[in-house]
Amino acid sequence: MTSLASRQRTFGDVTVGEELPSVEFPLTVYRLVVAAGGNRDFNSIHHNTAYAQATGAPEMYASTFILMGMWERLVRDYIGPAGTIRSIRDFRMRRFNLVGSVVEVRGRVRDARREDAHGIVTLEVESLVDGQVTVGPGTVEVTVPAASTAEAAA
Amino acid sequence: MSADWQTQDWKAAWQPLAEAVGRDFGDGTVVFGADAVEPGTIRRYTEPLEISCPIHYDAGAARAAGYPDVVAPYTATMVYSVPPMWRPGEPTLYESSDRDAQPARSPINNEDLPLAPKTTGFFATDISMEFLRPVTVGERVGRRGQRLISCTPKQTSMGRGAFLTWESELVTERGEVVARVRTGTYAYNPAGPDPAGPDPAGPDPAGPEEEQP
């Protein structure tokens, strides 16, 4: 498990104000269909242009589930395998995330405090398309280990 | 008939639901999702997101990280509470061969919106979730409760309808609460070719802005 441990972020690795490595998600029809199969939101607004337009949208657009999953991808990449997610708040979808666009998910550390064996970290996260915020900004509260297993044993 | 009268009339149709704010429309039972948490459904959820963390596919890695088994992504917890589209013995969902025909029934819809006027458009606007723990392979997840927190009629660029906020709990078969969810939705009738016109009140800061998903 050396490789796993080496990827594990601990509280000492966290700096308030630091930016998380952003993640980009090109939204193709293919990806939206794969996502619908995975998250079971088969509403046609998420995979059918004509239907989406009949409901007043300019095109088919990403579902809540895939958009929330994008935030989890960003967060999980940062907190590592032993990190946990306590809450997601203010996940507000302000604009369509349309097929043919690229959703960029960004985050930064807003607050961090130690609590027993864990570090409690508040991340501010948002999704953008062409520089405009489409989801959020919201907060994701996570935990990371206070110290690595090796550090704790020392 | 003035446009103002029409506006008030369609808003009045939402009044019975608005008066029910605070009521739990659930009957206390848990409505379980179609699929148990298992490696295949986790894989299909993570695939389009390209989540590589091994706790989602490697039991050894999950245990090393402190979990009892492979865990589902937190954001998938709600997915596991979605009931099936169709069960054996039920009537067909596919009653028409029209290209864009919709299924006769869907668990993700506003068909059974109580006390509300009939609407054909529906989407989520916002979500907040509190997670007590992740769910692991072998568990099932259900939804308990459907408490109406707010109901705000509003005309938007999408049509006429109402912003609704609901609260529910996600529980396991053992009755353990694993997450609490507050979901905002917009249930509406899409603007037709001859809408009554824009809402003179303008955009609602509590509702969608210029565009909404």
pLDDT score, position B62: 97
User: Could you say which residues from 97 to 136 on chain A have a Cβ atom under 8 Å away from some Cβ of chain B?
Assistant: 97, 134
* A81/B106 CB distance under 8 A: no
Task: Please say if the pLDDT value at position B194 is more than 80.
Answer: no
* A57/B66 CB distance under 8 A: no
What's the CA gap between A109 and A105, in Å, rounded?
Answer: 14
Number of folded domains that form chain B: 1
The answer to whether A24 and A98 are in contact (CB under 8 A) is no
Residue A127 maps to a domain: yes
Residue A95 maps to a domain: yes
- The question of ipTM being above 0.90 is answered as yes
Number of folded domains that form chain A: 1
Beta-bridge partner residues of A128 = A104, A133
Closest CA to A88 of B75, B143, B145, B52: B75
Under 8 Å CB-to-CB from B122, ≥6 apart: which residues?
A43, B109, B110, B185, B186, B187, B188
B98 Cβ under 8 Å from any chain A Cβ? no
Domain span holding position B132: 3-34+74-88+108-190
| Residue in chain B nearest A99 by alpha carbon | B213
Residue B49 maps to a domain: no
Predicted confidence (pLDDT) per residue in B32-66, tens digit = 999 999 999 999 999 999 999 999 999 999 999 99
Q: How far is CA B111 from the centre of its chain?
A: 12
CATH number of the domain that B144 lies in?
3.10.129
Residue B132 maps to a domain: yes
Residue A130 maps to a domain: yes
Least confident of B25-29, B73-77, B192-196: B192-196
What are the tokens at B28?
């206390």
* A88/B129 CB distance under 8 A: yes
Predicted confidence (pLDDT) per residue in B58-112, tens digit = 999 999 999 999 999 999 999 999 999 999 999 999 999 999 999 998 887 666 6
DSSP calls for B161-177: EEEEEEEEEEEETT--E
Under 8 Å CB-to-CB from A115, ≥6 apart: which residues?
none
Residue B156 maps to a domain: yes
Q: pTM of the predicted model, to two decimals?
A: 0.89
Provide, as residue numbers in chain B, all residues whose Cβ is less than 8 Å from the Cβ of A91.
126-129
Residue B18 maps to a domain: yes
The answer to whether A33 and A9 are in contact (CB under 8 A) is no
* B64/A88 CB distance under 8 A: no
Mutate to test the interface with A, among B57, B74, B120 (most CBs of A within 10 A): B74
Residue count (chain A): 154
Residue B116 maps to a domain: yes
What's the CA gap between B125 and B152, in Å, rounded?
Answer: 13
Residue A104 maps to a domain: yes
CATH number of the domain that A9 lies in?
3.10.129.10
The H helix count followed by the E strand count for chain B is: 4, 5
Domain span holding position A138: 2-26+64-153
Residue A57 maps to a domain: no
Residue A11 maps to a domain: yes
User: Could you say which residues from 80 to 99 on chain A have a Cβ atom under 8 Å away from some Cβ of chain B?
Assistant: 80-82, 84-97
Closest CA to B80 of B36, B122, B115, B120: B36
Q: How confident is the model at residue A149 (pLDDT cuts 50, 70, 90)?
A: low
